Amino acid sequence: MSDSDLQSRLAPVLGRVPSGVFILVAGDGSGRRTGLLASWVQQASFEPPQVTIAVNKSRYLIEWLKSGSPVTLNQVSKGDNLLFRHFGKGFDPDADAFQGVDLIPANNGLVALSSALATMEGTVCGHVDAGDHRIFLVTITYAIVHKDLAQFEPFVHVRKNGFSY
């Protein structure tokens, strides 16, 4: 089987692997901060509570995510296309990624998006390269619930093609 045959068989199957939609917030350590749409986030451990976050290596943000760096993960609500579109377009390193977005201070020095369902605060504790992405391991240190948990419906992303966003 050729590589193109294999890819055409895998594309619709990989694309149907569901993933939650989050806005990853990180800073560079000198006052700059940004937000990034992240849909490859997965719980990795119960104790300590940890998640993995896959970020495309072409994103400048990977240089900001070093061991010990704080992050917030803001869970997007089902049907919330405003956050999805706003952060999905990407931002230059010096751009204000949060213009027009309601924020509250996070305990780790970053910000939480108050229109998200919930925010998890955490610290990067390692990473591994995986092809065209880098997978970061984040230990979760705190959580903020923004919406009534009885109404909690996360945005779940399913793609048609497993080889592109």
First to last CA, the chain: 25
Asked if pLDDT for residue 35 goes beyond 90, the answer is yes
Mean local confidence (pLDDT), 25-41: 94
Domain 19-157 homologous superfamily, CATH:
Electron Transport, Fmn-binding Protein; Chain A (2.30.110.10)
Average pLDDT of the chain is 93
pLDDT at position 143, please? 97
pLDDT at position 4, please? 80
What is the rounded CA–CA span in Å between residue 149 and residue 102?
20
What is the rounded CA–CA span in Å between residue 49 and residue 142?
10
pLDDT band, very low/low/confident/very high, at 22 (cuts 50, 70, 90): very high
Mean local confidence (pLDDT), 80-107: 93
Asked if pLDDT for residue 140 goes beyond 90, the answer is yes
Whole-model pTM: value is: 0.92
Element (H, E) at 11: helix 3-15
Beta-carbon neighbour count of residue 14 at 10 Å?
Answer: 13
Mean local confidence (pLDDT), 36-45: 95
Q: Which residues of 127-136 are buried (b: 16+ CB within 10 A; e: fewer)?
A: beeeeebbbb
What SS3 class is residue 77? strand
Mean local confidence (pLDDT), 22-37: 95
pLDDT at position 14, please? 86
Phi, psi of 5 (to 5 degrees): -65, -45
Asked if pLDDT for residue 59 goes beyond 90, the answer is yes
Mean local confidence (pLDDT), 90-99: 93
